[in-house]
Amino acid sequence: MWLYPLLTMSFFGATFGVGLAYASRKFAVKTDPRVQEVLDALPGVNCGGCGFAGCAGYAEAVAAGNVAPTLCSPGGPDVVHKLCAILGVSADISERRVAMVRCAGAATAVRDAAYAGVQTCALAALVGEGFLACKSGCLLYGDCVQACAFDAMEWTPGRVPRVREDKCTACRKCIAVCPKALITVRPESKNVQVVCRSQDRGAIAKQKCALACIACTKCVKTCPVQAISMDGYVAVIDSAACTLCGKCVEACPTHAIQQAHAAA
Amino acid sequence: MHAQHFRGGVHPPDYKVFSRSVPISVVPAPNKVRVPLAQHLGVPAQALVKKGDRVCVGQPIGACVGFVSAAVHAPVAGTVTATPDVNLHTNRVVPGIEIENDTSDTLFAGVAPVTTVDRAAIIKAVQAAGIVGLGGATFPSHVKLQPPADKKISTLIINAAECEPFLTCDYRLVLEDGERVVRGAALMMTALDVHACIIAIEDNKPDAAQHLRALLGARADMRVATLPTHYPQGGEKQLICALTGREVPSGGLPMDVGCVVHNVGTAAAVTDAVERGMPLIERIVTVSGDAVERPGNYRVRLGTPIRAVLAAAGCDIERCAKVVIGGPMTGATATDLDAPVIKGTSGILAFSAAWVNADQPRPCIRCGRCGTVCPIGLQPTQLEALANLRDVNALQAQYAADCIECGCCAYICPARRALVQGIRYGKAQITALRKAVKN
């Protein structure tokens, strides 16, 4: 009687085997094998700096040729080389980029209100746009420091946070949380920058903060390569044109233009 | 009729004992007032005077521009010395008028009673007098007296609940000047063309309720309703629910359920505006808290610095760790004591360090008490988390915009989380999004 189960099971086995073999051909999903290769090459930190929710999303888009292979900031040039090799394309490898905080206030900014509420920038900014007289200034509670996943923000409470350029991956998470929109990304070498965003007129800006850009336009006139222009009442340096000569740093009467040095 | 209960709410100690038995006294008008042109919700008033002009008490100095706006009047007679930017106690900077007081208190010639009292005349007088909701919300009253034609109003509710701890200004007004309140309520009934008015008061003020009942006498169209002492009983939506059983829909207004709610102080101001032509130039402010030597209720000219009012009540500013404007549940910590008293300043509460909660927020323990006490039925802990994640779509889907900011969630939270502040951050994000969509 051992024959019947054996035959039954063999029959089922053969039927399902044929069925599965057919289904695997008929319903096969074509995947690009390069997606997995790209995903393996990416750092896997899911920082979102590329604009996708995570590395997997970026890997799919890159493999499909929809976006440039240069968007991964944490990976840097190494990853760009790897992606180019996988995809068989060439890319313009841009310089490593880092974030910077465009405010030097803190100690110098005048406070015109007492704030004792929840100690975050987001909530402090809701109370009449912050407790500083300068409504563009850093609120010093370090929301950006909390947001940074790479420990790339150096901060003592009560001071403006400073970016540790060696650790920064330009993932832009800090940019998203800053209620004053003070953080931008710049090429690593272009370290001459205006550290003020105040749109107050010169005399008023100076009353509110000793380090404010007072829109005197001295830097605009000094710059030998015309890399500086005025955006309303604040000077802006075009990093692409800047030659890092440092003449504007010397010319600025309020020290609102600073040359950052590599973090110690 | 039995009062119904709104959902949620808390029972904070009322601390009214500090100031409830102190009659209203007058804080002398200061030598210099700074009157902000934006003391109300809506468009700031347009300045009508310039530096060097002479003004009299009650003279319009700011014109009501647009539908939701309110006029502003000179609280003292004297000379306009400047038109500075004034920092309000909420750290908002608004245009203002600075007037040097010549102490003559000369009344403006245009101040005259309304001759024919009818619907249009009352609304006109209320608008001209710059009356706004004196409970603290400062919504222009003339707007609430002119509901759109498709909204049928059945009931006027006069809010004397005063559910906020410490505050007693409405209570003292009812006790000392109840007649003005009742007459103002009757005028507003005429303006709204309604034939039912309920004056609502919490049961921790039985003498005020008694006094109002005596004043009403045998009037059939007005009655006094005593409600349980239960925060936020004086919230517009909660009051309507407790009195009529109707629920204001999400995103809706009281007029959607046939009700209009006005504060008692507003009613008294309407009486002044119609019967004397007197605009809103002063208000009653409760000054209380443990750092105040003579807590009480003070009649203060608008534009008086908060510091001067505290000094009049014998408060040693050095001892203050925190000064709260309004009630302790919904009020705001003053960011600047030189900020002026404005139309919505119902209370000035000064506390020493011993009374200030210095606890740091701790992680949420998922006890769910905030959801239990929320009178709107929201999930504050979740909304706070969503606000911190800046997930605007989820905030909207969970009705963050319906939060009335009563503060029950933050009051009850055993982890001392700043829940209502977090939700306020979420609401700011929703407002910003709506503004962006509109543009």
Q: Kindly state whether residue A24 falls inside one of the protein's structural domains.
A: no
HEC profile of chain B: CCCCCCCCCECCCCCHHHCCCCCCEECCCCCEEEEECCCCCCECCEECCCCCCEECECCEEEECCCCCECCEECCCCEEEEECCEEECCCCCEEEEEEEEECCCCCECCCCCCCCCCCHHHHHHHHHHCCCECCCCCCCEHHHHCCCCCCCCCCEEEEECCCCCCCCCHHHHHHHHHHHHHHHHHHHHHHHHCCCCEEEEEECCCHHHHHHHHHHHCCCCCEEEEEECCCECCCCHHHHHHHHHCCCCCCCCCHHHHCEEEEEHHHHHHHHHHHHHCCCCCEEEEEEECCCECCCEEEEEECCCEHHHHHHHCCECHHHCCEEEECCCCCCEECCCCCCECCCCCCEEEEECHHHCCCCCCCCCCCCCHHHHHCCCCCCHHHHHHHHHHCCHHHHHHCCHHHCCCCCHHHHHCCCCCCHHHHHHHHHHHHHHHHHHHHC
* Cβ-contact B305, B30 below 8 angstroms: yes
Mean per-residue pLDDT of chain B: 94
pLDDT at site A170: 85
Residue where one domain finishes, among candidates B240, B275, B310: B275
Q: Kindly state whether residue B118 falls inside one of the protein's structural domains.
A: no
pLDDT at site A261: 63
Whether A157 and A194 share a structural domain: yes
Q: Do B91 and A176 touch (CB under 8 A)?
A: no
| Boundaries of domain holding A192 | 97-259
Name the stretches of chain A with pLDDT < 50: 262-264
Highest-scoring range by mean pLDDT, A168-172, B26-30, B353-357:
B26-30
Q: Kindly state whether residue B174 falls inside one of the protein's structural domains.
A: yes
Whether A105 and A76 share a structural domain: no
pLDDT at site A262: 46
| Boundaries of domain holding B388 | 369-438
Whether A80 and A111 share a structural domain: no
Q: Kindly state whether residue B28 falls inside one of the protein's structural domains.
A: no
Q: With contacts defined as CB-CB under 8 Å, which chain B residues touch A131?
A: 91, 335
Distance from CA of B417 to the nearest CA of A (A): 9
Whether B256 and B377 share a structural domain: no
- Domain count of chain A? 2
Residue where one domain finishes, among candidates B275, B298, B315: B275
Q: Kindly state whether residue A16 falls inside one of the protein's structural domains.
A: no
- The pLDDT tens digits of the residues spanning B276-293 come to 999 999 999 999 999 999
**Residue A242's CATH number:** 3.30.70.20
The shortest CB-CB distance from A126 to any of B93, B336, B425 is to: B425
- Residue in chain A lying closest to B89 (CA): A113
- Residue in chain A lying closest to B339 (CA): A113
The shortest CB-CB distance from A112 to any of B336, B361, B390 is to: B336
Whether A180 and A252 share a structural domain: yes
Q: Kindly state whether residue A149 falls inside one of the protein's structural domains.
A: yes
Whether A83 and A101 share a structural domain: no
Angle between helices A55-63 and A33-41 (to 10 degrees): 130
pLDDT at site B75: 97
The pLDDT > 90 percentage for chain A reads 53
Whether A56 and A172 share a structural domain: no
| 3-state class (DSSP) for residue A184 | strand
pLDDT at site B1: 45
Whether A104 and A79 share a structural domain: no
Whether A49 and A139 share a structural domain: no
Whether A136 and A182 share a structural domain: yes
Place of tokens 């998470």: A173
Q: Kindly state whether residue A6 falls inside one of the protein's structural domains.
A: no
Distance from CA of A121 to the nearest CA of B (A): 11
Residue B3: pLDDT band by 50, 70, 90 thresholds?
low
Q: With contacts defined as CB-CB under 8 Å, which chain A residues touch B432?
A: none
Place of tokens 């030998």: A224
- What is the pTM assigned to this prediction? 0.86
Residue where one domain finishes, among candidates B255, B275, B295: B275
Q: Do A128 and B333 touch (CB under 8 A)?
A: no
Q: Kindly state whether residue A101 falls inside one of the protein's structural domains.
A: yes
Q: Kindly state whether residue B397 falls inside one of the protein's structural domains.
A: yes
Q: Do B421 and A123 touch (CB under 8 A)?
A: yes
Whether A80 and A102 share a structural domain: no
- The pLDDT tens digits of the residues spanning B127-151 come to 999 999 999 889 999 999 999 999 9
- The pLDDT tens digits of the residues spanning B54-85 come to 999 999 999 999 889 999 999 999 999 999 99
Residue B264: pLDDT band by 50, 70, 90 thresholds?
very high
Residue where one domain finishes, among candidates A63, A87, A111: A87
- Domain count of chain B? 2
Residue where one domain finishes, among candidates A25, A53, A87: A87
Q: Kindly state whether residue A7 falls inside one of the protein's structural domains.
A: no
**Residue B209's CATH number:** 3.40.50.11540
Whether A70 and A120 share a structural domain: no
Contacts with A153 (C-beta within 8 Å, 6 or more apart), sequence order = A142, A144, A145, A161, A162, A163, A164, A174
The CA distance from A211 to A257, in Å, is: 9
- The pLDDT tens digits of the residues spanning A137-170 come to 999 999 999 999 889 999 988 889 999 988 888 8
Whether B143 and B246 share a structural domain: yes
- The pLDDT tens digits of the residues spanning B74-123 come to 999 999 999 999 999 999 999 999 999 999 999 999 999 999 899 999 99
Residue where one domain finishes, among candidates A45, A63, A87: A87
Query: What ipTM describes this predicted complex?
Result: 0.83
Whether A58 and A131 share a structural domain: no
| 3-state class (DSSP) for residue A88 | coil
Strand pairing category for B60-63 and B72-73: antiparallel
Q: Kindly state whether residue B383 falls inside one of the protein's structural domains.
A: yes
Distance from CA of A70 to the nearest CA of B (A): 28
pLDDT at site A20: 96
Whether B257 and B374 share a structural domain: no
User: Quick check: B221 pLDDT over 80?
Assistant: yes
The shortest CB-CB distance from A123 to any of B88, B90, B425 is to: B425
Q: Considering only A197-201, B4-8, B249-253, which range has the smallest mean pLDDT?
A: B4-8
